[in-house]
Amino acid sequence: LVGNAAGQILFCLVAWRSFDGEHFPDVSEVERWRYTVGHHVSWTDLGTSASLASLVCGNYRSLALGTDQRALAEQIEQYSEGLVPNLDLPQGPLLSALVISVWFLVIVREYKETLSFMSGIAVAHWQGRGKGIRHTKFRTTEGSLRFISLSLGHVLGMGVIVIVRVFIASTLLYVGAKWLANTTSVEEMILNASALSFILEFDEALFFSM
């Protein structure tokens, strides 16, 4: 349990510091490049007399300069491309909203499982107290472990673990939603959502590998 909590907290710290995600530059940054570099006479194409900005926006594939801007333009085009022809439904925002909604449901499931676990701990404790048993007692039946009662110390220990899990889930909800919202690549949205789910499944992977 300690190793699981430590591993997930470590993942949360890395996520908090690193999962800022990609993001499109500000309009002012693009305009600054357009007016200072994109339309500067020094970068005009000698063959066509077209400005660098025109070549970038015209999907010119043989650029020696402005390749970052060309890649950005392609990314924006893909992000804002209509999902359905003749309908103003850009696929980027729609997919972003979808994966964030699914991520929210994943965290809600984690909350429910955690609260269900704590509820079972509390029931075992109070049932034991009702029988006059104040220490932890369990029995093994056909390979399964059944708690008859739990001591107050064990209940408090489990409560600390529940608080840690709720904290981890809440942190991942915020950081993950921010990361997914800032992801500008349509292909990477699904991959990023899967990467976030891996953090929540770390405890199961650790348990089954022991």
HEC string of 59-73 equals CCCCCCCCHHHHHHH
Share of the chain above pLDDT 90, in %: 3
User: Looking only at Cα atoms, what is the longest distance across the chain?
Assistant: 94
Q: Look at residues 62, 59, 86, 88 and name the one whose alpha carbon lies nearest to residue 75.
A: 59
Tens of each residue's pLDDT in the chain, 210 residues? 566 667 777 776 776 666 555 566 677 877 787 777 777 777 677 667 777 777 777 666 666 666 667 777 777 777 777 766 666 777 778 888 888 998 899 899 989 988 998 888 888 888 877 777 778 877 777 777 777 788 888 888 888 888 888 888 888 888 888 888 888 777 778 787 777 777 777 777 766 666
CA angle 191, 193, 117 (to 5 degrees): 140
The per-residue pLDDT for 108 is 92
Residue 149 and residue 152: Cα distance in Å, rounded? 10
* Stated pTM of the model: 0.69
Sequence-distant (≥ 6) Cβ neighbours of residue 36 within 8 angstroms: none
pLDDT given at position 62: 64
The string of DSSP codes covering 90-103 is BHHHHHHHHHHHHH
